[in-house]
Structures are given as structure tokens and as C-alpha cells.
């Protein structure tokens, strides 16, 4: 699903009005109806009040139309218009006239006003929408602060009032802290970013019928990968296939005291459909690995008990492996760094797709400085968490938008696929697009979860998925498995092994 910029959302609005064609006020009516449908599905009528706070622009117009629609459905609706200016939008004016015959409108025009808000109330925030042009001040600020202080459930229409759709707010900005945000047609970039989580809450998209011709043609940088879109990538298994059809992966993982990382990534790799798996690890780890995962084959490090110092040769890899995953638990020893570089050079020469994770990334950051990318084959997949990413780019950022730009730059300049892990993992592709993942939960913030992801993506590469597909599908399936695990064990109790056991291709 495309994430349109604010400018494109406005263009889509105008295009729809002109080409459907539909009057602007009727499009507002349709958007408000879509919100109301979502609301009615989510909340039954009951012994509580729905307090709708409206601004003076089109977001306020939505709020008025929503109030008019909810009232006859049996909801106990109270409407508040915050009169922070003398200028109202045309659609606001039409809707206030339509509403006045039905419900009394309370006008807030004095900063001394104290709102009476109870914990059982539902607040609908229709103060400001995507049209904000400056920070919230004065009367509006007072109202937003009072709403935020209340214990009522806050539901924002389109976007939490005060939040900018696709650029950073000032840290001191006053912004509604919604529990739910019900947004029109497309998610806003702001919803993807950790810095806005406290404002956006749980977000939902409702279809308001903006013209598909415009949306299809729109060129965008950011995408939200919906389950329907991603699951389409899964290749069915052919009836007459054999294990050779699904590739042979090499996973390089583990070191003294870190064999768990190797086991987790290897198990996840096997569960993700790879035909054959060879795990390359330290010799003292071999009995553990073979006991825990008899399905895999092992290639032990010679003459070394503590860490990976293999002098990789072309014949070790040539015509044997379709994908190489390296990093989980390998440690950041200087000797391992030397091996890693040899491995990368060979994979580049033999064009074997790679996944680099965890300590492989830490080695690059600590031993190879800013030039680290010269050694990494093009189209390799990197899976850093934010701290590893910061070390890799050797830069910090002031906000999540700057972080995204650094991510894009890394992917474009070096032709890499970089999966920046977190809620809504951001996957940057060499073509400059960023794809936000839709699955997963906070229970996955647990040791070993990243090792599992490395195993999944390595398996997909070995099966012939393109690196772009392997990254997007792998991250999604990892999150989906995490969601199933969270249902069974709870977010707090689930562990990385539970994610593996719930991988379902
Ligand atoms: N996209 C779609 O297809 C559809 C969109 N729809 C709806 O329209 C909404 C966007 O509407 P909108 O442009 O009127 O924006 P909105 O925020 O309501 O008001 C802006 C007004 O407020 C003012 N203002 C700005 N900042 C301010 C501040 N900090 N403090 C105080 N005032 C401030 C600014 O005036 P200014 O003073 O800047 O001239 C302007 O007059 C969108 O979010 C959605 O809800 C649906 O109805 C139909 C389909
Ligand atoms: K709003």
C-alpha cells in the first residue's frame, strides 16, 4: 500500500472531485460515513457519552458530519466547536448548518473554559487534520492539553490534531494523544515512526473511495506492506519437487558461549522451507548443534574452539550454496573479521546472495570504519537493529525522519537492502523505496529474535526469492510468527524459540 505525501493526498482529493466526479462536500460525507462505520463496528451504544471536538477546517467538518450520523444511531453525542479563529472552511459551514437542526453545538471561545471529561467518555478528535500549518497555540492548545489529561478514550479523525503527516514536529509541540487513529484511505508516514507512537495509538485505515487512477499512478518513496500484498509473494511448492529444488543454504553462526544464536537461526532457516542447510560453526559447538537440530549438516571450524577463523576458499562455496547467512553470535574478534572479509569477497565473485546480521555488522562497524560497504556484495541484505545501524552509518539522528534518510542513503549508495528492525521494520531497497512491515509485536523484543529473522531470510534467498522479496517476505513472516506466538504465550512470556515454532509458510 502506498504512503502518499501530504501533497499527494491533496492532489488525490482534487483528482477525485474532478474525475469521479463528486462534490467536495459529498466526499466529506463519504469519509465521515466510513469513520462512522468503523466506529459502530468497534463500539456498541451504551451508557457513555461521545464528545466530538471540532476545529474550523475540513477536519472539523468531518467531526460535525460524524456527530450528525452517530446521533440517530443511538449514541449520546455532545458536540464542541473550538472557535480559535474567525475563518471556517466552506464544508465546515455546510455541516454546521446540517447539524444544528439535530444537536445543540457547544462553542468554546474562551481559554478559561474547563472541559468536563470522564474516564468512560469517548472523545472524537476532529480539531485539526492534515491541513495544519503551524504549532498549536492559545485556545486550541488549552483544549488539547485538557483532552490529553482526561482519562477518556481518544479517537482521532484522520490524524491526531497537531501531528504533521510527513515531517517532524518540534519537540515542544502540543499534539493529541489518541488511543485510536482512523485515517482516510492511506496511512500517513508519521504513523510508521516510533517518535509518534504516543500520539497515533492504534491506527486504522478506512476506504473513502479516492480515485484509484491517481493512486495507481502516484510515485512514492514509502510503502506499507499489507498482509495481502506480502503473502502473494509466497511461492507454492511444486508437487514433483525435491530438496534440491529449494536450495542449499550456508549459515555461519555461533562462537564460544553463543551457540544459542546458531541454533535459533538454523532452526528458523529449516522451518522456512530451505532444501538443505549447512551450519558452519566452532568445533566445540558441534555436539550441541547436531543434537538439537539433526535436520541440518555441519561444517566445523578447524583448529579453533573459540571463534570463526576459516580461511574460506573458492571451492568451499562454489556450486554448493545458493545463499549465505552470517552473523548471529559469531563474536567481534579481529580474526573473525578477516574471515568475514574473505567470505564477502568470495560471495561477490560467485554472486551468492548474502544476509549479514548482528556481529557481522558489528565487525564491519568496528573494524572497517566508513568504508565498510566496499566489501559487501551488492544486493546483500543487512538486518541491523537501531544501535547496530547507528554504528554502521557512524552518525546519529535528531528524529526518525533523519534516520529514514540515512537508511535510504545507505541502501541507494551501496545497492544494499537494509532492514532496520523495530516496530514496523523499515526495509530500504536499492531503488530508494522504503517498505514498512505490518506484522509483529513488542513481545519480539527478546533475545534471539533477530537470529530467527536471519535464518528465515537466508532460507528464502536459498529458495530463489530475489533479495528484495526475501527481505520483505522474511520480515513479514517473522512478525506473523511472532503474532501467533504472542497469542499463545502472551507478549511478555514469549521467547525466540516460540517464534520459530510458529513460522507458517
Ligand atoms: N484528503 C481527503 O481526501 C479528504 C480529507 N478530508 C478531511 O479534510 C482534512 C484536511 O482539511 P483542511 O485542509 O481543511 O485541514 P484542517 O486541519 O482541518 O484545517 C486546516 C485549517 O486550520 C488552520 N490551521 C492550520 N494549522 C493550525 C493551527 N496550528 N492552529 C490553528 N489553525 C490552524 C488553517 O488555516 P490557516 O490559518 O493556516 O490559513 C486551515 O484553515 C483532512 O484531515 C480530513 O479530515 C475529508 O473531509 C474528505 C476527504
Ligand atoms: K484530528
More confident residue, 111 or 481: 481
Q: Does the annotation list 134 as a binding residue? A: yes
Domain membership flag for residue 225: no
Q: Is 63 in the pocket of ligand 1 (CB under 6 A)?
A: no
Q: Among residues of the chain, what percentage have pLDDT more than 70?
A: 100
Grid cell in block for residue 179: 488511543
DSSP letter assigned to residue 311: -
Q: Based on the domain organization, do 403 and 464 belong to the same domain?
A: yes
Q: Based on the domain organization, do 93 and 44 belong to the same domain?
A: yes
CA–CA separation, 494 and 310 (whole Å): 35
Q: Is the pLDDT of residue 101 over 90?
A: no
Ligand 2 centroid from CA 173, angstroms: 15
Q: Is the pLDDT of residue 373 over 90?
A: no
Alpha carbons within 13 A on the beta-carbon side of 464 = 9
- Comparing C-alpha atoms, which of 249, 246, 161 is closest to residue 199? 161
What is the structure's pLDDT at 336? 94
What is the structure's pLDDT at 372? 82
What is the structure's pLDDT at 191? 98
- Comparing C-alpha atoms, which of 335, 271, 272, 259 is closest to residue 298? 259
Residue 368 binned pLDDT confidence (cut-offs 50, 70, 90): confident
In this structure, the residue with its CA closest to atom 49 of ligand 1 is 28
Q: Is the pLDDT of residue 306 over 90?
A: no
Alpha carbons within 13 A on the beta-carbon side of 327 = 29
Helix (H) or strand (E) holding 51: strand 49-54
Grid cell in block for residue 431: 531503488
Q: Is 31 in the pocket of ligand 1 (CB under 6 A)?
A: yes
Domain membership flag for residue 158: yes
Domain membership flag for residue 406: yes
Q: Is the pLDDT of residue 303 over 80?
A: no
Q: Which phi-psi region, left, alpha or beta, contains residue 201 (left: φ > 0; alpha: ψ -120 to 50)?
A: left
What is the β-pairing status of strands 323-326 and 297-301? unpaired
Q: Is the pLDDT of residue 188 over 90?
A: yes
Q: Among residues of the chain, what percentage have pLDDT more than 90?
A: 95
Ligand 1 centroid from CA 423, angstroms: 29
Tell me which residue range forms the domain holding 239. 230-501
Q: Based on the domain organization, do 250 and 215 belong to the same domain?
A: no
Handedness of CA 213, 215, 218, 223 (dihedral sign): negative
Choosing from 164, 194, 219, the residue where a domain stops is: 219
Predicted confidence (pLDDT) per residue in 147-184, tens digit: 999 999 999 999 999 999 999 999 999 999 999 999 99
Domain membership flag for residue 370: yes
Q: Based on the domain organization, do 280 and 188 belong to the same domain?
A: no
Predicted confidence (pLDDT) per residue in 411-431, tens digit: 999 999 999 999 999 999 999
From residue 186, how far is each of 6, 31, 183, 295 by CA, in Å?
Answer: 11, 12, 7, 44
Q: Based on the domain organization, do 454 and 477 belong to the same domain?
A: yes
Q: Is 214 in the pocket of ligand 1 (CB under 6 A)?
A: no
Q: Is the pLDDT of residue 111 over 90?
A: no
Predicted confidence (pLDDT) per residue in 326-351, tens digit: 999 999 999 999 999 999 999 999 99
More confident residue, 17 or 133: 17
Q: Is 359 in the pocket of ligand 1 (CB under 6 A)?
A: no
Q: How many CB atoms lie within 10 A of CB 401?
A: 16
User: Looking only at Cα atoms, what is the longest distance across the chain?
Assistant: 87
Calculate mean pLDDT across residues 21-49: 98
The beta strand positions in 188-312, using DSSP E, are: 202-206, 222-225, 248-252, 276-282, 297-301
Ligand 1 centroid from CA 214, angstroms: 21
Q: CATH code at 451?
A: 3.40.1190.20
Q: Does the annotation list 261 as a binding residue? A: yes
Ligand 2 centroid from CA 204, angstroms: 13
The ipTM assigned to this model is 0.98
Alpha carbons within 13 A on the beta-carbon side of 188 = 29
Q: Does the annotation list 37 as a binding residue? A: no
Point out the ligand 1 atom lying closest to the alpha carbon of residue 131: 15
Pair 341, 321: CB distance under 8 Å: no
Q: Is the pLDDT of residue 391 over 90?
A: yes
Instruction: Provide the number of structural domains found in the chain.
Output: 2
Residue 100 binned pLDDT confidence (cut-offs 50, 70, 90): confident
Domain membership flag for residue 224: no
CA–CA separation, 114 and 120 (whole Å): 18
Q: Is 84 in the pocket of ligand 1 (CB under 6 A)?
A: yes
Residue 205 binned pLDDT confidence (cut-offs 50, 70, 90): very high
Grid cell in block for residue 416: 544494499
Q: CATH code at 128?
A: 3.40.50.10260
Q: Is 59 in the pocket of ligand 1 (CB under 6 A)?
A: yes
For every residue of 215-244, DSSP letters joined together read: HHH---SEEEE-HHHHHTTPPPPPTT--GG
Q: Based on the domain organization, do 177 and 252 belong to the same domain?
A: no
CA–CA separation, 44 and 163 (whole Å): 29
Choosing from 219, 250, 284, the residue where a domain stops is: 219
Domain membership flag for residue 240: yes
Calculate mean pLDDT across residues 134-145: 96
Residue whose CB lies within 8 A of the most ligand 1 atoms, among 128, 170, 203, 218, for a mutation test: 128
Choosing from 175, 200, 219, the residue where a domain stops is: 219
CA angle 201, 1, 123 (to 5 degrees): 25
From residue 184, how far is each of 192, 204, 439 by CA, in Å?
Answer: 15, 9, 21
Look at residue 353 and give its three-state secondary structure: coil
For the chain, counts of helices (H) and of strands (E): 18, 18
Predicted confidence (pLDDT) per residue in 4-29, tens digit: 999 999 999 999 999 999 999 999 99
More confident residue, 302 or 448: 448
Buried residues in 438-456 as b, exposed as e (16+ CB within 10 A): bbbeebbebebbbbbbbbb
Q: Is the pLDDT of residue 304 over 80?
A: no
Q: Is 27 in the pocket of ligand 1 (CB under 6 A)?
A: yes
The beta strand positions in 305-452, using DSSP E, are: 323-326, 354-356, 381-382, 417-420, 426-428, 434-437
Amino acid at each position: 500500500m502506498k504512503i502518499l505525501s501530504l501533497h499527494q493526498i491533496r492532489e488525490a482529493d482534487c483528482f477525485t472531485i474532478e474525475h469521479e466526479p463528486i462534490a467536495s462536500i459529498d466526499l466529506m460525507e463519504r469519509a465521515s460515513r466510513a469513520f462512522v462505520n468503523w466506529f459502530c463496528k468497534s463500539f456498541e451504544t451504551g451508557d457513555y457519552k461521545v464528545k466530538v471536538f471540532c476545529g474550523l477546517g475540513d477536519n472539523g467538518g468531518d467531526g460535525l458530519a460524524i456527530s450528525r450520523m452517530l446521533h440517530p444511531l443511538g449514541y449520546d453525542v455532545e458536540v464542541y466547536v473550538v472557535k480559535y479563529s474567525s475563518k471556517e472552511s466552506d464544508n465546515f459551514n455546510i455541516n454546521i448548518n446540517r447539524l444544528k437542526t439535530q444537536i445543540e453545538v457547544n462553542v468554546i471561545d474562551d481559554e478559561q473554559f474547563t472541559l468536563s471529561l470522564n474516564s468512560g467518555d469517548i472523545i472524537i478528535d476532529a480539531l485539526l487534520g492534515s491541513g495544519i500549518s503551524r504549532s498549536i497555540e492559545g485556545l486550541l492548545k488549552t483544549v488539547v492539553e485538557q483532552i490529553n489529561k482526561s482519562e477518556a478514550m481518544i479517537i482521532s479523525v484522520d490524524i491526531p490534531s497537531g501531528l504533521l503527516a510527513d515531517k517532524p514536529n518540534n519537540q515542544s509541540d502540543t499534539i493529541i494523544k489518541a488511543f485510536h487513529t482512523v485515517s482516510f484511505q492511506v496511512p500517513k508516514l508519521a504513523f510508521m515512526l516510533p517518535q509518534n507512537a504516543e500520539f497515533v495509538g492504534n491506527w486504522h485505515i478506512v476506504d473513502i473511495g479516492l480515485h484509484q487512477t491517481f493512486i495507481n499512478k502516484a510515485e512514492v518513496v514509502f510503502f506499507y506492506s499489507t498482509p495481502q500484498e506480502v503473502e502473494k509473494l509466497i511461492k507454492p511448492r511444486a508437487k514433483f519437487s525435491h530438496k534440491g529444488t529449494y536450495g542449499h543454504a550456508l549459515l555461519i553462526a555461533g562462537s564460544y558461549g553463543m551457540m544459542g544464536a546458531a541454533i535459533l537461526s538454523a532452526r528458523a532457516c529449516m522451518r522456512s522451507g530451505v532444501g538443505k542447510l549447512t551450519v558452519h560453526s566452532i568445533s566445540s559447538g558441534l555436539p550441541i548443534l547436531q543434537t538439537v537440530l539433526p535436520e541440518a549438516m555441519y561444517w566445523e571450524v578447524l583448529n579453533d574452539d573459540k571463534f570463526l577463523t576459516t580461511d574460506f576458499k573458492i571451492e568451499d562455496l562454489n556450486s554448493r550454496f545458493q545463499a549465505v547467512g552470517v552473523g548471529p553470535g559469531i563474536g567481534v574478534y579481529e580474526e573473525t573479521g578477516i574471515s568475514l572479509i574473505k567470505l564477502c569477497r568470495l560471495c561477490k565473485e560467485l554472486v551468492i546472495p548474502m544476509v549479514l546480521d548482528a556481529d557481522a555488522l558489528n565487525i564491519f562497524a568496528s573494524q572497517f570504519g566508513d568504508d565498510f560497504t566496499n566489501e559487501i556484495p551488492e544486493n546483500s541484505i543487512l538486518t541491523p537493529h537501531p544501535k547496530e545501524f547507528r554504528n554502521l552509518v557512524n552518525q546519529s539522528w535528531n528524529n526518525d525522519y533523519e534516520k529514514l534518510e540515512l537508511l535510504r542513503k545507505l541502501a541507494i549508495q551501496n545497492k544494499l537492502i537494509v532492514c532496520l528492525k523495530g516496530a514496523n521494520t523499515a526495509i530500504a531497497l536499492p531503488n530508494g523505496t522504503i517498505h514498512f512491515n505490518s506484522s509483529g509485536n513488542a513481545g519480539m523484543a527478546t533475545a534471539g529474535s533477530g537470529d530467527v529473522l536471519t535464518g528465515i531470510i537466508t532460507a528464502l534467498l536459498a529458495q530463489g526469492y530475489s533479495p528484495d522479496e526475501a527481505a520483505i517476505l522474511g520480515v513479514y513472516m517473522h512478525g506473523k510468527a511472532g503474532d501467533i506466538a504472542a497469542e499463545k504465550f502472551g507478549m511478555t512470556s514469549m521467547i525466540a524459540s516460540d517464534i520459530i515454532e510458529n513460522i507458517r509458510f
